[in-house]
Amino acid sequence: MIVSQNMVAEAEIMCQQRIPVLDVKYHLCVTQEQAVAANVVPIFNQVRVSPESMEMESAMSCSELLKDTLMETPATTFTPIVRSGSCADIGPRGSMDDEHIQIDDLAAHLGFVFKYPMPSAFYAVFDGHGGPNAAAFIKRNAIRLFFEDAKMLQSYDTDALFLKRLEDSHRKAFLGADLALASEQSVGGTCGTTALTALILGRHLLVANAGDCRAVLCRRGVAVEMSHDHRPSYLPERRRVEELGGFIYDGYLNGDLSVTRALGDWKLKYPVGTASPLIADPDIQVVTLTEEDEFLIIGCDGIWDVMSSQEAVSFVRRGLRRHDDPQQCAKELVKEALRLNTTDNLTVIVVCLSTVEKIVESIPPHRRRFRACSLSEEARSRLKSLLEGN
């Protein structure tokens, strides 16, 4: 990658001014946009750190931030080693409305071979409501809906143009799936599903989400959230809903639905082509994976209702260090959510990106504890003398 002197100089000035980390990130994003216009290729780093790990991020040095965001370092050439495990459970509900997809080798599944060996994988979680039909339909038709242009994947490149095309393709797939549900006779107008997909291609991870499923990346033991929960309590969603004439009542969209984005639910949506409080448009995050990225957790809200992102990451990390089995980790995570009295269906996928040897034991700075020590009477006396200048 080519980095202009102006970009580096601007970033160094910002560091010298000691502006907040989030402001640095904002200016770096602006710099990236300017770089694309000038045919300078940035490295995508669109990630959101969970609240539990914000303290760690604030302690990052400016040089580390610039290195991660602007420079093509040896770490960015990391190639993930992908393997996964999953678990689904009906939980305390009377019916199972969740569906999921787990494909560790997408290229083989789609029937093509890359010019050079590289990882490709696809995972998805669909959390149905109003019955299981919408989630089941999307799962049955996922490959047709999400990979209509499979040849595009074979032209994989690390430049911004390809990643933008990939992002646009996934957004189009979500909207196409939503329209397909509108005309599907087996799916009623009050039936819908949330949807979260995760695509690993080379050293890039793309996560698209509409609803309250969640994807969390473990980066050296710290939870990095790759999706937003689209609930009425999420302020940006609440504002969008109210600006479009919708309302929130008792935590529900229009008093009916606990999410603000979903596929289907056409009785709650305005006619096609009209902006609606309930939408299927996904939030999309793209990140360049490095050797610090250990695994990804994808789960429905039955998991996240009773566990924070950091708690789930720490739980899975301990499991991997014990037995190095993502399938077992997924089962243990579901069992833990049941122990914590979740009230929903449960579906989780654990995707390993590194070997277990790479998962080193570390404690995030904000969780470190310092041991208190006591001084003898003689030591206290000497210290007092030093402080008083005697």
The tens-digit pLDDT sequence of the chain (390 residues) is 444 444 444 444 344 433 333 333 333 443 444 443 444 333 334 444 444 444 444 334 333 433 343 334 433 478 999 999 999 999 999 999 999 999 999 999 999 888 888 999 999 999 999 999 999 999 999 999 999 888 889 888 888 999 999 999 999 999 999 999 999 989 999 999 999 999 999 999 999 999 999 999 999 999 999 999 999 999 999 999 999 999 999 999 999 999 999 999 999 998 887 889 999 999 999 999 999 999 999 999 999 999 999 999 999 999 999 999 999 999 999 999 999 999 999 999 999 999 988 776 554 544 444 455 566 777 777 777 777 765
Q: Which residue has the tokens 């997909």?
A: 197
Same domain for 344 and 226, yes or no, is: yes
Cα–Cα distance measured from residue 96 to residue 88, given in angstroms and rounded to the nearest whole number: 9
Q: Are residues 105 and 252 in the same domain?
A: yes
Is residue 43 included in any domain, yes or no? Answer: yes
**83, 67: one domain:** no
Record the tokens describing residue 62, joined without a space.
């400016």
Find tokens 């109210």 and name the residue.
242
Do 335 and 193 share a domain, yes or no?
A: yes
What tokens does 149 get?
A: 């242009």
Range of the domain at 18: 5-72
40 and 122 share a domain? no
**CATH number, position 328:** 3.60.40.10
Establish if 15 belongs to a structural domain.
Answer: yes
Kindly state whether residues 343 and 218 are assigned to the same domain.
yes
Q: Are residues 33 and 116 in the same domain?
A: no
| 213 class by beta-carbon count within 10 Å (0-12 exposed, 13-18 middle, 19+ buried) | buried
Buried b (16+ CB within 10 A) or exposed e, 16-30: eeeeebeebbeebee
Residue 381 lies in a domain: no
Indicate whether 108 and 212 sit together in one domain.
yes
Domains in the chain, number: 2
Within-domain flag for 337: yes
Q: 101 lies in a domain?
A: yes
Q: Evaluate whether residue 376 is within a structural domain.
A: no
Would you put residue 211 in left (φ > 0), alpha (ψ -120 to 50) or beta? left
52 and 106 belong to one structural domain: no
CA-based max dimension of the chain: 91
d(Cα 232, Cα 212) in Å, to the nearest integer? 10
- 187 and 278 in a single domain? The answer is yes
Q: Token digits for 362?
A: 């570390």
Q: Are residues 46 and 128 in the same domain?
A: no
Does some domain include residue 372?
no
- Does 28 share its domain with 135? no
This prediction has a pTM of 0.75
